Structures are given as structure tokens and as C-alpha cells.
Structure 1
Amino acid sequence: MSARKYFIVSHDRNKSLPGLILINESTISTSGDPTFVLRDSSVRGFPPTKEVPYIKYIKSRGRKPKEFEKFRDFWLITNRVKEFLESVDAEAFVFMSCRTCIEGHESDGEYWICDVVRTINALDELKSDISIDYVGGKKLYNLIGSERYLFLEEKIQSNIIFRMQFAWHKVICNDIFREKCQKKQIKGLTFINCGR
């Protein structure tokens, strides 16, 4: 069997950004920290909130959101995408319901905040184009300018999507997940080849 191919999962990086505002920013946080911005990004999952997030699309602030968007340290996805992710790998994701107002249409359950909570230390550090930093005693991959990431398949095993342990902001998937997404025609989702 041929080796799997791996990709960085990313949002559509065009010049325009979605005009999304967290309306209840000032009342939702339990800690006083910016909501949905993780203080320790190595610990995944959602921060505690006092109420359901209320996200509104403001046309003057940007374009209309697509099915898949980056939302601070998380993703904002439609219910269709949520159902798809649950069907392909339910254990990799957690979801938080939110209220939305898109072009005057109020809805509960049409959009969800999503996080990838599976983390695997699978990068082949010797063969990948990276450098390693230590910040506050913590190991981190410096990927600035990097274009080649190779992975140890024996550590990934049958998992089709995961976060890199020492580069939390990078979500990696294999060609199986990519093909399923492309077949589903999810708008706003892009893939960058790790083996360039």
C-alpha cells in the first residue's frame, strides 16, 4: 500500500475577511480574557462561557461567511459541515452551539464553533523543513518559511485528522479526509500539501 499524503487544513485565504462580530463579547467570558482566544493553546477545547455565543454578520465589516471560516483560535462552521465532520471522524472534534444573525436571519443551530481536539506528535523532525524553539521551557516548532512536513505513519495510525503537538495552530489531515471534503464541496475550506 502506498504512503498516505498529508495536508494542512486551512480556511480560504482570499483578501476579504468575513464581517463577523461576537455581539455578546463583554458578557460571555468568565475570565475577562478575550473570548475564543486561548491563553494556553496547547490545551484544546472551549473556554467556559456564561451564555451562548451570539455572532452577527455586519456587511460593512466584510463579506458574508462561508460554510467554513476561521474564528479566532477556532473554526466557525455550518450545521451541514458539522454533520459531515461527525460522520467522518466524530472523536476528533468538539462543537459549541451559537446564535447567529446572517443578513437579518436569526438562527440557533445553523452555525457551530468547532475545535480539533486530537493532538498527535507525529512529525518526522529530521526529514521536515523546520526549526525547533523553546519558549518558557516549552518546545515549539518554528514553521516560518517552512514548506515541507513529513510524518511518521506508525504514530498517526488510522487517524485522518489531527493537530501537531508542537505547532498547535496547524491542523493536518490525510488524503482520505481531503477527498471526502472535496466530494462534499465544502465552501471556504482549502488544503496545502505538506510534502511540497
Structure 2
Amino acid sequence: METENTPVEGEFYLLRPDVRGGDRGHGVVLENESALPLPEHLSEPPSAGGIGSMNEMPRLRYDSRIGEMPGDLQAGFKGYWLVSEALKSAMQTMDAEGFSFIKCEFRLEDGSEAAPHYLCEVVRVLDAIDEEASSVNILTDDYPNGKYYSIGGGAKFAFRRSVIGTAHVFRTPYTSNAFCDRTMRDFLMESGFGRYPDARGVRLTDASDI
């Protein structure tokens, strides 16, 4: 007898930058933004974009007049994440095939080189959300894949575990959000990421009740 699928608390998590705190944000400028392709999940077709298709190194410049130095996970870079060396190491330890990275040239205000930072994207895409068992607002107008799962008003996601298999991180074709499993969530937290209020830029939200 087949068991009905439902959202399961503590099984999968939304992995995203933590924008809580109310500060003025980061002060990092992506100087050659126009020369860089969009991430795979924003490109049409996906093979037309992404870190793998970059022909030049991203150039970053810090400007204290704009904001603070970035956290370990920062959004706002043409759809890519900006990650620190420490977070990159943790991500690769858990799921090296799920992420793609490219090192940035990052200069401080005095012209010196900042600590290593990387543009990052989640490159594994799995149609793993059980739509019928989930509670989510589905938008259908003018989306490349025909629909989009919006979490703006909240969502309760159920997943098809047979599709996910041993993957620890993934996106889906119908949302730009990234998800990780409990194993990766626990590893990130044990490594010092995602523990509010000192989350180091990482936010982990239970996907069963966003």
C-alpha cells in the first residue's frame, strides 16, 4: 500500500542568504557585471549561462560608502551568490557536484587584495517537489518552464525522495530557490553557518513550513 506524501518537518531546508538584521547591506561592487553571463537558472536555455560559460574573472571592489564588507553568503551579484573561502569549503565537502564556483579578483579601498571570495551557483536541477502534496502558490503566466512556485506568501513543500537520491543540494525547474537536506543543514550549522543571530550570512529555513 502506497503511503500518502506530506511535507516532513526537519527533512529539507531552503538555503539562502540571510538578509535579516536591518543594516545597510554590503558595499561590494561587481565592476564587470555586464561582461558576465547570467546564472544557469536565469538563462534561456540554461546552457547559455552559468559560471562554466564565463570568459573572464569577476572583478569586485569594496566601497565603504555603500555598505559593509560581505558576509560569508551574499546575494546581489547578477543572480549569483558571493561566498567566502570558508563557506565554499563547507559546500564542497558536502556536495562538490551540486555547486559551481569561480574565484573573484576582489580589491579593498586601498587597492590591496581582499580575502578570497567566489561567485557561486547551485547547478544541480531536480524536479523533486511533489506538487500535489505541497501547499504553494503556483504562477503560470509567461514563465520559461510554464510555471513558477512562489514562496512569497509562504509554502509547505513535500519532496519526491526517489528523485533526490543521495543529492544534498539542488534547485528545481520551477523555482530559483535552492534546497538542501538535513545532512547538509546540520553540517553547515556545525561549521558555524546559519545559527541566528550570528548566522554568517546563511539562512536555513525548514521547507515544510516556509
Deviates more, 1:8-17 or 1:89-98: 8-17
Residue from 168, 171, 185 that aligns with 1:163: 171
Match of 2:158 in 1: 150
- The correspondence of residues 45-124 of structure 1 with structure 2, limited to 5 A, is 45-46=50-51, 48-70=53-75, 71-102=77-108, 104=110, 106-107=112-113, 110-124=116-130
Match of 2:4 in 1: none
- 1:98 and 1:195 map into 2 onto residues whose CA distance is 35
* Structure 2 spans left out of the alignment, 5+ residues: 1-7, 194-199
Residues 47, 134 of structure 1: CA spacing in aligned structure 2 closer, same or farther, 3 A cutoff? Answer: farther
SS in 1 for 2:159: coil
- 1:159 and 1:151 map into 2 onto residues whose CA distance is 13
- 2:45 and 2:19 map into 1 onto residues whose CA distance is 24
% identical equivalent positions: 22
Supply the AA of the counterpart residue of 1:174.
D
- 1:146 and 1:73 map into 2 onto residues whose CA distance is 22
Match of 1:40 in 2: 43
**Deviation of the 1:141 alpha carbon:** 2.1
**Deviation of the 1:119 alpha carbon:** 0.5
**Deviation of the 1:69 alpha carbon:** 0.9
- The correspondence of residues 120-139 of structure 1 with structure 2, limited to 5 A, is 120-130=126-136, 131-135=138-142, 138-139=145-146
Deviates more, 1:111-120 or 1:62-71: 62-71
Match of 1:32 in 2: none
Match of 2:29 in 1: 21
Q: Does 1:192 align with 2:205?
A: yes
1:102-125 deviation line (CA, Å, top 9, x unaligned)? 353633771111111000001110
- 1:129 and 1:17 map into 2 onto residues whose CA distance is 32
**Deviation of the 1:24 alpha carbon:** 3.3
- 1:63 and 1:109 map into 2 onto residues whose CA distance is 15
Match of 1:177 in 2: 184
Residues 87, 47 of structure 1: CA spacing in aligned structure 2 closer, same or farther, 3 A cutoff? Answer: closer
- 1:159 and 1:6 map into 2 onto residues whose CA distance is 11
SS in 2 for 1:135: coil
Contact 2:15 2:177 (8 Å CA) reproduced: yes
**Deviation of the 1:193 alpha carbon:** 1.1
TM-score (normalizing by structure 1): 0.83
- 2:155 and 2:144 map into 1 onto residues whose CA distance is 26
- 2:179 and 2:156 map into 1 onto residues whose CA distance is 13
Contact 1:100 1:110 (8 Å CA) reproduced: yes
Contact 1:128 1:149 (8 Å CA) reproduced: yes
**Deviation of the 1:189 alpha carbon:** 0.5
Contact 1:98 1:108 (8 Å CA) reproduced: no
SS in 1 for 2:171: strand
Deviates more, 1:89-98 or 1:108-117: 108-117
SS in 2 for 1:88: helix
**Deviation of the 1:7 alpha carbon:** 0.8
Contact 1:68 1:189 (8 Å CA) reproduced: yes
Contact 2:140 2:147 (8 Å CA) reproduced: yes
